[in-house]
Amino acid sequence: MHKLIFRLLLLVAMLPFAAHAAETLDAQSFFNLNMGDLKTEAAEAKSDGKKAVLVIFEQEGCPGCRHMRTRVLNRKDVQDYYRANFANLSLDIWSSVPIRDFADQEQTEKAYAQAAKIKGTPTFIFYDLAGHEIVRIFGTIETPDEFLLLGRFVASGAYKTRDFAQYKSAKPRL
């Protein structure tokens, strides 16, 4: 009888892990190859029929950034959805790597992050294909389902009439 109870408890304990057994990939493959030119990225996204450009502002050692890469951005379903709908870029808020912004101005990733008033990481900014900020979310997004919901919020255009918190509360959980 004890063995049966132990096996049942073990099975129940493993259920949360089974729910997260979705196929995973290298999180780096979530991101487009960054050409260092946001205006060009937006133009290519437009020609590819994408909805927006997503820039994720990160920094080395950021626990939230690590969570996003190991629990959310590495999921195949997340990568498939975001690659189909957005150009996805990562910028390091401390990097001296030069980039050209949407206004065709050259600066470092750090200077661009400062100009965008990034206060912490991770910060997610969706830009329309003309380079205008349309949605900004600060902080870790805990689950792949919530991140997919964020993508749907932007891709559907729902951001034009409400904020993400309102959208989330009106939507059933995935």
pLDDT at 39: 96
Mean pLDDT, 10 residues at a time, over the chain (174 residues)? Answer: 46 48 81 91 96 98 97 97 97 97 96 97 98 97 97 97 94 59
Check if the beta carbon of residue 85 is closer than 8 Å to that of residue 155: yes
Q: Under CATH, what is the fold of the domain 24-170? A: Glutaredoxin (3.40.30)
Identify the CA nearest to 127 among candidates 81, 159, 149. 159
Count Cβ atoms below 10 Å from residue 90 Cβ, excluding itself. Answer: 21
Q: Say what the pTM is.
A: 0.84
Q: Residues 155, 167: contact at Cβ < 8 Å? A: no
Quote the pLDDT of residue 13: 52
Domain positions in the chain are: 24-170
Whole-Å CA distances, 147 to 9, 114, 140, 168: 31, 25, 10, 11
Residue 145 host element (H or E):
helix 144-155
Residue 18: both structure tokens together: 């089974």
Dihedral (Cα; 110, 128, 26, 168), 10-degree rounding: 110
